[in-house]
Structure 1
Amino acid sequence: MHKHIQEVPKEEEASLAYFLEVRSFLSRLKQNRTQYLNSKDVLSSYQRVLTKVCELDAIRKNAHQISPDNATTLIHNAELHNRVDSVLDDVFQLLSLSFLTVGLKNSAPATYASLSTVQRLLEHLDESNVFTHHDLRPIKERLDEISKIVAHSSPPTECRDSDLSIDNDNITDEKNRNKIEEDLLLRAKLNHCLQEYDHIESKLEEIDSGLQETMEKLFQLRRGLLSLAAYSKRKMHANSSQTKSTDAPMSQVSINEKLHALKSELVEIESHRDPSGKFISAATGQVATKGQNVLNGLLDDCHDLINDLSHHDVVTLDSKLQPIYENLIEIKTTLENLLVTRRWTLRETDLFGYQKRLSEIDKLRVNGKFPTSSTETKGQSILLYLLRRCYAIIYKLLECSEPVSEALQKIHNQLSTVRRCLLELKRMGGVENDRELYPYQMKLASLDNMRVDGIFYDSEGNIPEGQGTLNALLAECFDILHELKIEAEERQGSDAEGSEHTCLSDTNTDAFNESSEVATPRSADSTNTYERLQPRAKFLDVSKQYARGDDNDDDDDDEDDEEEEEYSANYSEHSYEDDEDDYATTSHAED
C-alpha cells in the first residue's frame, strides 16, 4: 500500500525547488566519470542539504503548531508526505551512496541507503509471508550494526566551501542543529525498520517448533520452483530473441529433471500429514495447532507452480506483464554481473538508477498485484520473486562496499590481488628460492613508492579516504613476503646441509673402497709379499711348538720365548689354519 501524496504547500515550494536542483547536481556528479568524487564536496553538499531540511522541518512544525524544540521530525511523515519528501528521499539516497563511493562507509549518512533497502526487503517479506530465521538473521545483524553507527556518529568535518552562506560565528550552532536533524531522520528510519522486523519475527514465533523443519523445506522448495520458473521464462525469451545472450538459459531437459526432483521432495513433505491434511509435529508425533495455515498456504503455492511448469514447456505471461518481466530480467542480470565485477566496474552511486527503476516497477502494483488484462494470476509470483531478488542483490552490493575511496580503489584491488597470491603460495608450501618472489617484491615496491610520507594521494593532490586500510594491507603483504623468504632460506639451508652430508658420505665410501683395494692381494707383487710373510709366521709357530716339546734344551732363552709368544699371540688358531691353507694353495699354484 503506497502513501497518498498530497499537494505541495506554498511555503514548501522553495524547499522543493532547492532539493530538485541538488538532485540534478548530484546526478550530474555521479555520471561524470572523468574525475573521482571528492569527500570534501560530498560533505559540503550534505551540510547544505541538512540546513535546508532543518528549515523545512521548522516550517512544518510552525504550520501544525508544534514547538520547534520538540525532539521529533516531520520529515517523511506519513500524513504529510508530498513531493518534497519524495525528492528529498532521492537526495538522501544519492548522498548516502556518495558517502560509500568516497570510502566513508562507517559514517552515519552512509547508512541511509542500507536502511532504505532493508525497509523494502522487510516490506516484501511481510507481504509474501515466505521467510525463515535464516532470512531474518543477517538483516537483524545489519540493523544492530547500523544502530551502533548511528549511536556513535560524530558531526561531519567542518565544511569550508565558499558557496555556503553560513556565518562563522554561528557555524557551531549550525552544525549542532544539523547533527540533531540527522539523528532524528536516521533514528526514525531505523526505528521503522526495527518495528517492521519485530512484526515479521512475531509471525515466525507463531509456528510450532515441531513444524519448523517442515516449513524450512517448503520455503526452499518454493524458492527452487520460482527460480526454475524464471529460468524457464528466460528460455522462451532467449529463443525469441535474435541476439545471443552471454547468460545462456537452462535446457528443457535440465528443467524437467529439476522439476521431477522438486516434485519428489514435495511428495515426501506431504507424507508427513494426517488423513485430514494437517501436518504432524516431528517432535511429538501429533498434529500441531500452530502454523497449519502457513504450511498449507506454502504447499498450495508449490502445487500451483508445479502445475504451471508441468503443463507448459515455458511459462507464458500476460501481455501487460511481459514488459515488466523483461525489465526485471535485465536489471537482475546486470546486478548479478556487478556482484562479480564490482571491484573494477562498480561505482556505488550507479545503484541509484537501479533503485529508482525497481521503485517505479514496485509502484505499478495494485493491492500487491501487477495489473493484467485478464483475471488470471499466472506470472505474479515470478515477477515478485524477481523484484525481491533484485532488492536482495542491491543489499549485497551495498554490504560488500569497501571503506576505500574510488580514487584509491585501483591500488586496493592490486594489493588485494597480491595478498591472495601470496597466501595461496604459502598455503601450497612456499617457494623453492627467493627468485620466485621477485615479481611480488617488485609489485609491492612499486605500490610502496606511490606513497609520500606514508600517504597515498590522488591525481589532484588530495588525501582520499581509506589510508589506514591500504597501509594495513600493504604491511600485511610485506609480512607474508618476509615469511616466505625466511622459509625459502631455511629450505635452501637444509638442502645444502643434506647435499654436503651426502657428498661427505660418498667421499668416505670411495676412500674405504680404495683402502680395500690396496689391502686385497690382486697383483703378483702382493702375492709374493704375502708368501714371504707366511713362512715366517709358520716358522715361528713351529719353533714355538718345538720349544715347548724340548724340555732339556738349555740354550733356549726365556726372553726369546716370551717375545715369540707375544708375536704369535696375534694369530688365532683358525687364522693360522687359514693362512696355512692359503700358503699351500699358493705354493701349489707356483709348482
Structure 2
Amino acid sequence: MTDSPAPRIPLDPKEQPILDKLLAVRTNLELLKQDRSTYVKSQDVIDLYNQVIEQVVVLNEIRTSKRLEQNRVDTVLDDCFQLTSLAFLTIGKNHEAPAVYSFVSTTKRLLDHVKEATFYSPKDLESVSARLADCRRYIERGKEAYSPELLTLLDARIELCEKTLGELQLNLSHLTPDLTPKWDKLVSILRSMSACNTRSKFPNDEVDEYLEQLKEIQEELRPYGIVAYESTGSKEEKLAEMTEKLFISIAHPEPAPEAKKLIETLLQRNFVWYALIKKKQGYISPAFKETYDKLLEIRNKLEKLSLTQAWSLRETDLYSFQRQLDRVDETRVDGNFFDAVGRPAELYEQRTMLYLLRKSYATIYHLLVSSEPVSEALLPIYNQLVTLKKCLVEVKKNGGVASPRELYPYSMKLNSIDNMRVDGKFMIGSDVPDGQGSVMSLLAECFDIAYELRNDAEDSGSGEKSGGSESGQDELTK
C-alpha cells in the first residue's frame, strides 16, 4: 500500500523498530478489513488498537526534544489510527474515543475545502458543529478508558476544526434574515450546476433552467444594490472579465465580507460558472483527464455506497477512499492542480475537479455520521427491524388494520427475531456483539407499534359489533 502523502525526512534509527511494528499492525488491520468471510470481532480490534498505543508511548519517549518531527513513522501511525477508528465503527463502538479519529480527520479536510471555496450553507455548519460537540462528549467520557496520548491528539484536532468552523460562521453572520434564503438558493444552484457538469451527458435544458433561476434571484437582489458584474464589451469579453475577477476573489478572499459583497461574489460566480460549463459541455483537457476520471470514479462509488449503506457498507471500506482522496488533495499547489509538465489547470478544470474532491469528502462525512452504533454482526437483524418499523409506521399512518389477523405477518417476524435471543441477548456463536441496546430498543418499538395497531383494530371491531347489535334490536322493535 502507498503511504499517505507526507514530508520525507531521514528516519531516526531508534524509530525503525517502531515503524516495523506499526507496519505489521497496519497489515493486520488491512487483512481484518478485507476478510469478508466473517464479521470483525471487537477483541481483535481492541488488541490491535492497544498495540498502536504501545508504539505511541515508545515514540513519545524518543521524541521528547523533537515533538514537531514528521516522517514515515507518523504517516504509518496515522494510517493505523484511521483504520482502528473505522474498525471501532464497524464493531458498533461509535461513541468511543478511538472512533472519533476518522470523523475528525474527514471533518478537518471538509472544513478546509469549505473555507477555500468560500460558499456554503448555514445548515452545513450546524451539522458539523453538532457532531464536533458529540465528539467532545465521547472524549470526555473516555478519559478513564483510553490512552491520554490519543485523547490529547483528538482534542487538538477538534480544536483546529472548531477554529475553522468559527471563522466560517463569522463570515455568514453578516447575512440578514431576508438575505439568508437567497444565499442558500445560490449555494444550491452552484452545487447543482457542478453536479450537472460531471454527468456522462451534459443536460443543457436543466442547466438553462438554473440560469433562469439565477436571473430571478438577481432581480430580487437589485433592491439591495446587489448585481452580477456587468461589462459593456462583447459576450466573450464579459466572460473573460468575470472569470478574471473570480480568480482574484478566489486567490484573495476577504476575511469577513459584508453581506452585500458576500452575495454579490456568489452571484457572479454562478453566472461565470454557468457560462463556462455551457461552453465546455463536460470536456476536460487531456492533461487532467486521468485525475478527473479517478475523482469521478471515487465520487460515483461513494454515492452508490450511500444508497446501499445499511446493507453493504463496512466502515473500514472508507479507508481506501479517504487515502486516495488525500493523495489527490496533497498534489495541489496553492490550491490548484498541475499537469505532468508543471502547468496549472484552467479555471474550468480546477473547479470541476475540486467539486468532485469536495463532494467525495462530503459523502464520506455523511457515511460516517449516519453509521449506526451496531456491530456488523448484528446489522442484518437491525436492518430487518428498521424495515419492519417503517412498514408498521406506514400502516398506522394509513389508518391501521381492519382486524388483528392482518398483523400476523409482522407479529410472526417480530417473534422470530425475539426468539433469536439467548438469555436476553443476541449472540453470534459465543460472542455478544456491540449494539445490543440499539437492537433491543428497536425491537421494543416495533412490538409497541404492533400492540397499538392490534388494540385499535380490536376496539374498532368491538364498536362495529356493538353498533350492529343495536341496529338489529332497533329493527326488531319496529
SS in 1 for 2:378: helix
Cα distance in 2, alignment partners of residues 201 and 50 from structure 1: 36
**Alignment partner of 1:436 out of 392, 400, 406:** 406
How far off is 1:82 after superposition? 1.5
SS in 1 for 2:383: helix
Matched ranges for 1:100-179 at <5 A: 100-156=89-145, 179=147
Does the Cα contact within 8 Å between 2:93 and 2:374 map onto a contact in 1? Answer: yes
1:457 is aligned to 427
How far off is 1:26 after superposition? 0.6
1:413 is aligned to 383
SS in 1 for 2:81: helix
2:196 is aligned to 231
1:116-169 CA distances to partner (integer Å, 9 max, x unpaired)? 01111111122222234332111111111111111111544xxxxxxxxxxxxx
Matched ranges for 1:504-519 at <5 A: 504-509=473-478
Cα distance in 1, alignment partners of residues 383 and 226 from structure 2: 58
Cα distance in 1, alignment partners of residues 427 and 257 from structure 2: 65
Cα distance in 1, alignment partners of residues 54 and 279 from structure 2: 60
Matched ranges for 1:192-203 at <5 A: 192-203=160-171
Larger Rg: 1
1:12 is aligned to 15
How far off is 1:436 after superposition? 0.5
SS in 1 for 2:347: coil
Structure 1: gaps spanning 5 or more residues: 65-73, 157-177, 237-249, 279-287, 510-591
**Alignment partner of 2:463 out of 494, 518, 521:** 494
Amino acid at match of 1:447: I
Cα distance in 2, alignment partners of residues 253 and 294 from structure 1: 29
How far off is 1:47 after superposition? 1.1
Does the Cα contact within 8 Å between 1:403 and 1:466 map onto a contact in 2? Answer: yes
Cα distance in 1, alignment partners of residues 28 and 228 from structure 2: 64
Cα distance in 2, alignment partners of residues 382 and 223 from structure 1: 16
Q: Are residues 479 and 363 of structure 1, via their aligned partners in 2, closer, same or farther at CA, if it must alter by over 3 Å?
A: same
Q: Are residues 233 and 122 of structure 1, via their aligned partners in 2, closer, same or farther at CA, if it must alter by over 3 Å?
A: closer
SS in 2 for 1:368: coil
Amino acid at match of 1:235: S
Amino acid at match of 2:186: L
Cα distance in 1, alignment partners of residues 101 and 394 from structure 2: 38
**Alignment partner of 2:155 out of 183, 187, 194:** 187
2:397 is aligned to 427
Does the Cα contact within 8 Å between 2:89 and 2:373 map onto a contact in 1? Answer: yes
1:336 is aligned to 303
1:456-481 CA distances to partner (integer Å, 9 max, x unpaired)? 101x3100011111112212222222
Cα distance in 1, alignment partners of residues 309 and 291 from structure 2: 26
Does the Cα contact within 8 Å between 1:444 and 1:474 map onto a contact in 2? Answer: yes
How far off is 1:216 after superposition? 5.8
2:241 is aligned to none
1:377 is aligned to 347
Cα distance in 1, alignment partners of residues 430 and 209 from structure 2: 60
How far off is 1:270 after superposition? 5.0
Q: Tell whether 2:219 aligns with 1:254.
A: no
**Alignment partner of 1:84 out of 73, 78, 81:** 73
How far off is 1:388 after superposition? 1.0
Amino acid at match of 2:87: S
Q: State which drifts further: 32-41 or 331-340.
A: 331-340
1:272 is aligned to 224
**Alignment partner of 1:303 out of 271, 283, 302:** 271
Cα distance in 2, alignment partners of residues 292 and 60 from structure 1: 50
1:181-219 CA distances to partner (integer Å, 9 max, x unpaired)? 2222221222222222233334344x3x54x75476356
Does the Cα contact within 8 Å between 2:25 and 2:80 map onto a contact in 1? Answer: yes
Percent identical across equivalent pairs? 36
| RMSD over aligned Cα atoms | 2.6
TM-score with structure 2 length normalisation? 0.86
Amino acid at match of 2:102: A
2:40 is aligned to 37
1:470-505 CA distances to partner (integer Å, 9 max, x unpaired)? 112212222222222211111111111112112222
Amino acid at match of 1:342: Q
Amino acid at match of 2:53: L
1:303-325 CA distances to partner (integer Å, 9 max, x unpaired)? 3212213435x132222222222
